[in-house]
């Protein structure tokens, strides 16, 4: 087993960044077992995996192969992510406040290429995003220039003498402000409703959230892969020793295979969190035994 694990590692050295299916074809073996070995190598930080996936699988690589990731992954990025990729690669540093609203989520998902930096300047903290492969000294210089540029843009404060207003004018002003306040309140409520509708975007999402609520589990983060069938969460579970964080893979699928579990286990290990796998489907006795032997700490729950 150790010999096979070492052969897998050497194949990543030669082929990386590489998909697990390619390694299994080159070495001749079961993809499920190769995925499990790759997970162990990731856990030991001998190899790394990408956040961006090709199909349903990340790429595996060793330190020093990062520069190959743009060529391998660019075509598999979503539309907005490609735009942010191009923008960040060109500018090397982007001030978060300068990003158009439609790019704010995209850049947080560009984890293979965008590195967040929180910089404090004149008692104010601002977030910047740097191109992962940019020179550190160049990044510092660019951030300094951006901070200086925006620190100079201070609005001029013009002092005016207060104007005396009649009682009638003051009453009309109060009525106007009250109407404005009610309109803003109504708008905020509508926006909140839309956000709520967007968050619970499918019956499967509602089913998953209901399960957490019934167990007293707090959802810290969520990532919809496929809204009707595949969702990932980070949760906080109450226990006798305090709250414990878990990575959750939620699958709307009739039967869960060892391959499904292996991919989720690999993702959980990359986040250094234990795995809770929840599903509307079943696992066979054989798969249950396989979990006990190969996936330490994995919990499976049918919902």
pLDDT score recorded for residue 172: 55
pLDDT: which is higher, 294 or 216: 216
> Helices 31-43 and 2-15 meet at what angle, rounded to 10?
80
pLDDT score recorded for residue 131: 96
pLDDT bin (cut points 50, 70, 90) of residue 42 is very high
Whether the Cβ atoms of residue 84 and residue 110 lie closer than 8 Å to each other: yes
Q: What is the pLDDT of residues 85-121, one digit of tens each?
A: 999 999 999 999 888 888 888 999 999 999 999 988 8
Q: What is the pLDDT of residues 127-147, one digit of tens each?
A: 999 999 999 999 999 999 988
pLDDT score recorded for residue 154: 39
**Can you read off the two tokens belonging to residue 97?**
């406040």
Q: Is 262 exposed, middle or buried (0-12, 13-18, 19+ CB in 10 A)?
A: buried
- Give the whole-number percent of the chain exceeding pLDDT 70: 82
Query: Whole-number mean pLDDT of the chain?
Result: 82
Output the DSSP codes for 79-90: HHHHHHHHHHHH
pLDDT score recorded for residue 10: 94
pTM: 0.49
Q: What is the pLDDT of residues 187-203, one digit of tens each?
A: 555 545 544 444 445 78
pLDDT bin (cut points 50, 70, 90) of residue 36 is confident
Q: Is 244 helix (H, G, I), strand (E, B) or coil?
A: strand
Q: Is 251 exposed, middle or buried (0-12, 13-18, 19+ CB in 10 A)?
A: buried
Closest to 255 (Cα-Cα) out of 232, 225, 279, 229? 279
CATH number of this structure's domain 203-302: 3.40.1350.10
pLDDT score recorded for residue 295: 82
pLDDT bin (cut points 50, 70, 90) of residue 298 is confident
pLDDT: which is higher, 260 or 87: 87
pLDDT score recorded for residue 121: 80
CATH number of this structure's domain 77-150: 1.10.10
Q: What is the pLDDT of residues 164-184, one digit of tens each?
A: 444 555 555 556 565 555 555
Residue 223 in this model has a pLDDT that exceeds 80? yes
Where in the chain are the domains?
Answer: 2-72, 77-150, 203-302
pLDDT score recorded for residue 150: 74
CATH number of this structure's domain 2-72: 1.10.10.10
Residue 210 in this model has a pLDDT that exceeds 70? yes
pLDDT score recorded for residue 83: 92
pLDDT score recorded for residue 63: 94
pLDDT: which is higher, 293 or 153: 293
Is 203-302 in the same CATH topology as 2-72? no
- Give the whole-number percent of the chain exceeding pLDDT 90: 38
pLDDT score recorded for residue 163: 44
Distance between CA atoms of 12 and 47, rounded to whole angstroms? 8
In this structure, the strands spanning 124-131 and 242-251 are unpaired
Distance between CA atoms of 217 and 208, rounded to whole angstroms? 11
């Amino acid at each position: 087993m150790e010999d096979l694990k070492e052969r897998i590692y050497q194949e990543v050295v030669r082929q990386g960044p590489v998909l697990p299916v390619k390694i299994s074809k080159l070495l001749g073996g079961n993809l499920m077992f190769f995925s499990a070995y790759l997970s162990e190598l990731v856990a030991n930080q001998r190899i790394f995996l990408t956040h961006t996936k090709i199909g349903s699988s990340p790429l595996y690589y060793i330190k020093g192969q990062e520069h190959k990731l743009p060529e391998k992954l660019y075509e598999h990025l979503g539309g907005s992510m490609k735009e942010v990729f191009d923008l960040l690669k060109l500018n090397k540093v982007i001030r978060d406040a300068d990003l158009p609203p439609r790019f704010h989520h995209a850049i947080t998902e560009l984890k293979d290429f965008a590195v967040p930096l929180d910089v404090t300047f004149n008692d104010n903290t601002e977030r910047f995003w740097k191109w992962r492969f940019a020179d550190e000294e160049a990044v510092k210089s660019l951030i300094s220039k951006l901070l200086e540029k925006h620190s100079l843009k201070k609005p001029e404060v013009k002092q005016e003498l207060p104007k005396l207003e009649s009682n009638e004018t003051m009453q009309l002003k109060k009525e106007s402000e009250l109407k404005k306040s009610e309109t803003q309140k109504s708008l905020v409520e509508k926006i909140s409703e839309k956000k709520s509708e967007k968050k619970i975007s499918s019956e499967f999402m509602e089913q998953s959230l209901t399960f957490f609520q019934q167990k007293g589990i707090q959802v810290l983060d969520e990532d919809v892969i496929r809204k009707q069938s595949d969702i990932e969460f980070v949760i906080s579970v109450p226990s006798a020793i305090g709250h414990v964080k878990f990575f959750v893979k939620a699958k709307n699928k009739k039967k869960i295979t060892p391959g499904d579990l292996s991919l989720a286990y690999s993702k959980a290990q990359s986040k250094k969190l234990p795995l809770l796998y929840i599903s509307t489907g079943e696992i066979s006795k054989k798969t249950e035994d396989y979990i006990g032997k190969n996936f330490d700490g994995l919990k499976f729950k049918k919902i």
